[in-house]
A and B are shown apart, each in its own frame.
Chain A
Amino acid sequence: MLIINGNESDFAGKTVKEMIDFFQYEERTIAVEVNEKILPKQEFTAYRLQDGDCVEVVSFVGGG
């Protein structure tokens, strides 16, 4: 099991790219932290989520 945005999920073994596509996030407007470290976007296709990972996808909307 791993945690994505506070919820238990069974994405272990999937890449971050697969995960963000599943949730329909837009890559240009998000930041992904895995275990409190930013995951650079160029690693989205290579990084495979593991049991115990704590993932936070921060998604931005416009306005400021």
Chain B
Amino acid sequence: MQKADWQRALCARHGEKTQEKFNRASVAICGLGGLGSHIAIGLARAGIGKLLLIDFDQVELTNLHRQGYKPSQIGRKKTEALKENLLEINPFLQVEVCERYMQEADVKELLAEVDVVCEAFDRAESKAMLVNAVREFYPQKVLVASSGMAGFGDGNEIHTRKINAHFYLCGDERSDVNDGIGLVSARVMLCASHVALKVLQIIKDGMDKGEQEE
């Protein structure tokens, strides 16, 4: 597959203007578990130009039921394993990885260059930390966060809510993994798809506004 063929196929589906915006866009994915790995796969397939993948963890057997990894990748860094999987899907994707347990002090530096930030951590405290920090340091960057996707509950309860023009929240906002209901691939992927779709909409429509202003 040549790059020109790939681009032609994407342009035929998304439209040339939209695809150019996708090609230019960069998105950070903070946390590469069930949410983050599938958000990344969705964005890589759509031909987003550049992804920044951030996670400290390694692939474990207990991840495989819901995360975008393979048995052959057990023990590998999630950043490297996901990069490999994404490049199999889209060999022309630019991928940057950062192996780090992200703390508040990292947010400013790590996310300086990206257009959009996806919060995809698993702990509620980590989610709140990242959202607070991104909203404080980068109020003009678009942030898409997630909360509530555990269990076997009705898929239609997973939604995307606009908090404001730069901050969206996906999930059912209730189902807590700490209530002992576990995480099920199909429902986590549903939430990840909400995030990925919102990111694509924002890149498509957000830049439309920019063009009108020019």
- Known A63-B175, A64-B31; judge A58-B131 contact (CB<8 A): yes
Beta-carbon contact of A61 and B173 below 8 Å: yes
CA separation between A33 and B145, bound complex, in Å? 14
Q: What is the bound-complex CA distance between A58 and B31, given in angstroms? A: 19
Chain A residues within 8 Å of B128, by CB: 28-31, 60
Contact residues on B (Cβ < 8 Å of other chain), bracket: 35 or more
Determine whether B127 belongs to the interface, using a CB cutoff of 8 Å to chain A.
yes
A63 touches B183 (CB 8 A): yes
Docked complex Cα distance between A61 and B174 (Å): 7
| B124, B148, B164 interface centre (most CB from chain A within 10 Å) | B124
Give the A interface residue count (CB, 8 A): 18
**Main SS at interface, chain B:** mixed
Are A33 and B163 interface neighbours, CB within 8 A?
Answer: yes
A-side interface mostly: mixed
* Distance in angstroms between the alpha carbons of A62 and B135 in the assembled complex: 20
User: When the two chains form their complex, are residues B163 and A58 in contact, meaning their CB atoms are under 8 A apart?
Assistant: yes
Determine which residue in A30, A41, A62 has the highest number of CB atoms from chain B within 10 A of its CB, and name it: A62
Closest to B30 in A: A64
Q: A29-B128, A33-B135, A38-B139 are in contact. Are A62 and B177 (CB under 8 A)?
A: yes
Contact B36 A64 (CB under 8 A): yes
Contact assessment for A28 and B125 in the assembled complex, using a CB-CB cutoff below 8 Å: yes
Check A64 against B139 for contact (C-beta < 8 Å): no
